[in-house]
Structure 1
Amino acid sequence: MAHNNIERRAWPGGTVAPHDFPTDVQRLIFEIAARRDGRCALQLVLVARHVRSWIDPILYECIIVRTQHEASALLETMCTKPPGFFDGPVRALAFGSTITFQQAKPILATSSSHITDFAVWGESRNPSVFLPFVRSTTLRRLSLRAQNAAELNIPPAVLSELTHLVVLGGPYSWYHLRNAIHIVKACASVGDAGASASAPVTGPTAPTAAPASDTAAATRMFQSLTHFGVCSQNWGSTQAILKVAKHLKYFAVLVPPHYKAAPTIRQRIAELGDRRVVLVEYEQTVGSWEVDVRGGASVWDKVERLVGEGRFSERAEDTWGELGEGGLKVAVHVAAGEKPRTGLRSGTFESLFFFGVACGVCVESLV
């Protein structure tokens, strides 16, 4: 009987009308459509009241506030929603260049309780100033960008939980990283001195060991980090994170398309010899961040693929296999008059050597 009822209410061609689907199937269809096209989602909320209740949370899963006008509109919308509405659906939040601090604070207070992704794409303001007001304890991905020099101040409680961190713009100084590498180096120097000396080193020149608690605290702040992205002007000053972040798998140097200095950066990465480091073209815009958050082809998909393929850039010829195991197998013993031992193609060593001299780079033997 039910079958006959469906037949009578079928659309032309025998297609079953939407209201004949079970409610859970209808909801699934609407949710998939809304997530695939945000503009479509804005139309779907007009279909029916129960459909709006399904789609509304999806509209706020990813909130991007680019301008002061958009911030004002969002604050007005928040006043129309029931208390706690934004506690659940918001998973990603981004601020653009012109949003004011006074606007950002109530937005963070209302909608940052459960975010896993946060981004600040500013121009003149230090992007880390908003972080103390983020309420989420599940923040795992952070992207910061500004055009001015600034001191990054990522709260330790936030930093220690991050798995993905992208730092663009600047240039920046970063106390927590400087402090961590200083402590790690101090411990390493004390260990080396203890291993090589037959008697304890005393006196004013004796290395001072960092307390074990300080060492643990310094490295613990980077303990969860697996993905780190940085722009070209900051990558030299942040290479130390390769030693401090024990679980780091990917270090991406992110440059705009057709970046003129890309060949130099590729050369420096090859000299570094760390297979976690890769050069990738990346449009440094909030739109690129949004693609990643919404499940599109992200920059991290590309980075993971390149590292997995043993490449250090998107150029097909830039593979570690071309350079041999362990990076550049180059031995430079000019003072001793020794000839270089290298498996590189003819002429490659000479170009690398003169490049290193010009840049003040010491090319050590990795053989």
Structure 2
Amino acid sequence: MCDAPFFPPELEREIFETAAELYPETILPLLHVSRRVHDWIEWIQYRTVTPFGTLSTCPAQVLLDAIQSNLKPESFFRDRVRHLHISGFNREALEVAPKLLSACNAVQTLRMTIDADQIQPELILPALAALKLRRLSAYLKFIFAGSVPDCMPVLTSVTHLNIFDWLPSSPATNDQLSSWLIQFPVLTHVTIRHDSVPLARNILGLCKNLQVLIFLQQEWHKHRKREGIPWPEDDRFVWMLTKSAGKEKDWIIGSNGGMDFWISAEIFIVKKRSGEIKPSSRCWIERTDKIGCEYFTDDTR
């Protein structure tokens, strides 16, 4: 390590922090530049944690090792980890998920790609209830596997909800989703993997504060013409055909302020309300809209 400064400390710190923010893949080598640089950017290293360190994020194993080393005070991880993905494919991280959530209890964005077949919900829900999340991506069947009072605290602050469950089209589904969604009092954005227009109408009528409702589709029905795609006559609703929305890469980009499917939908809705979207009845993003290039519909006619 070299400790000899070349610039005023304030400028030097800004340079290194900016480099780490814009180019996260440089964080690990930057940590070895000097002790002061290490202290400046170490907090950035742990900001976004994913199972295997995708897109130069912090791998869960690195975080686990740091927590279990007991070399840092409890406040260290609480103050640094902001975006966390816990995956059922990372067995070790799954086994210590309660400790992980307890140590990182200031997490703002949580992605949980796990279900009740991989871990008993009651092992995680108490630690989950202590969080004040803004964004949650999860299987609601897992979140609501216990009693509502047990998981209620974590629901009260969630504004963006990405639902992984695929639920069949039926009156029972409408009732089930309604009973879940009313437990989120400040919800503004919801993404569902579904295609039922009656369900969309039900959700939009139920959640008065909702600003964006996205129905994610992997592909349009091969015989369906886009002009015939039904919609609930509400400009808060967006059909979205995508191969990446909802995946970890998109979650990482969105968690760190980049263009994700929610921002794409917000921009589309603003353009629609201003009359820029033609025809005005269109409720899907196309390539020519130049909004979030990953979220357009290909012409399959």
User: Offset of 1:245 from its aligned partner?
Assistant: 1.7
Question: What residue number does 2:132 align with?
Answer: 138
CA contact (8 A) 2:129 2:154 kept: no
Q: Of 23, 28, 32, which aligns to 1:37?
A: 23
Question: What residue number does 1:115 align with?
Answer: 107
Question: What residue number does 2:158 align with?
Answer: 162
Question: What residue number does 1:75 align with?
Answer: 64
Identical-pair percentage: 23
Distance 1:264 1:160, change over 3 A: farther
Separation in structure 1 between the aligned mates of residue 187 and residue 206 of structure 2, nearest angstrom: 10
Secondary structure class of the residue paired with 1:134:
helix
Q: Which moved further from structure 2: 224-233 or 120-129?
A: 120-129
Q: Of 76, 84, 89, which aligns to 1:93?
A: 84
Q: Give the letter for the 1:225 counterpart.
A: L
Q: Give the letter for the 2:157 counterpart.
A: E
Distance 1:133 1:21, change over 3 A: same
Q: Give the letter for the 2:159 counterpart.
A: T
CA contact (8 A) 1:127 1:145 kept: no
Separation in structure 1 between the aligned mates of residue 259 and residue 164 of structure 2, nearest angstrom: 20
User: Offset of 1:266 from its aligned partner?
Assistant: 7.4
Separation in structure 2 between the aligned mates of residue 125 and residue 66 of structure 1, nearest angstrom: 21
CA contact (8 A) 1:60 1:89 kept: yes
The 5-angstrom pairing of residues 229-268 of structure 1 reads 229-232=191-194, 237=199, 239-256=201-218, 258-260=219-221, 263=224, 267=228
- Structure 1 residues not aligned, in runs of 5+: 1-17, 181-217, 323-367
Separation in structure 2 between the aligned mates of residue 279 and residue 115 of structure 1, nearest angstrom: 30
CA contact (8 A) 1:230 1:252 kept: yes
CA contact (8 A) 1:92 1:115 kept: yes
Question: What residue number does 1:187 align with?
Answer: none
Separation in structure 2 between the aligned mates of residue 143 and residue 128 of structure 1, nearest angstrom: 18
CA contact (8 A) 1:72 1:103 kept: no
Separation in structure 1 between the aligned mates of residue 118 and residue 205 of structure 2, nearest angstrom: 26
Separation in structure 2 between the aligned mates of residue 161 and residue 308 of structure 1, nearest angstrom: 25
Separation in structure 2 between the aligned mates of residue 74 and residue 234 of structure 1, nearest angstrom: 41
Q: Give the letter for the 2:107 counterpart.
A: I
TM-score (norm 1): 0.60
Number of residue pairs aligned between Structure 1 and Structure 2? 256
CA contact (8 A) 2:20 2:44 kept: yes
Secondary structure class of the residue paired with 2:272:
coil
CA distances 1:256-290 after superposition (whole Å, capped 9, x unpaired) = 3x4436947874543x2111111123413111100
Q: Of 181, 184, 189, which aligns to 1:227?
A: 189
User: Offset of 1:124 from its aligned partner?
Assistant: 7.4
RMSD: 3.5
User: Offset of 1:102 from its aligned partner?
Assistant: 2.1
Separation in structure 2 between the aligned mates of residue 231 and residue 320 of structure 1, nearest angstrom: 21
Question: What residue number does 1:59 align with?
Answer: 45
Separation in structure 2 between the aligned mates of residue 293 and residue 178 of structure 1, nearest angstrom: 27
The 5-angstrom pairing of residues 1-367 of structure 1 reads 19-66=5-52, 71-80=60-69, 81-84=71-74, 85-100=76-91, 101-111=94-104, 113-122=105-114, 125=117, 129=121, 130-134=124-128, 136-145=130-139, 150=141, 152-153=143-144, 155-171=151-167, 177-179=177-179, 219=182, 221-232=183-194, 237=199, 239-256=201-218, 258-260=219-221, 263=224, 267=228, 269-270=230-231, 272-282=232-242, 283=244, 284-310=246-272, 317-320=278-281
CA distances 1:313-352 after superposition (whole Å, capped 9, x unpaired) = xxx6453389xxxxxxxxxxxxxxxxxxxxxxxxxxxxxx
TM-score (norm 2): 0.72
Larger Rg: 1
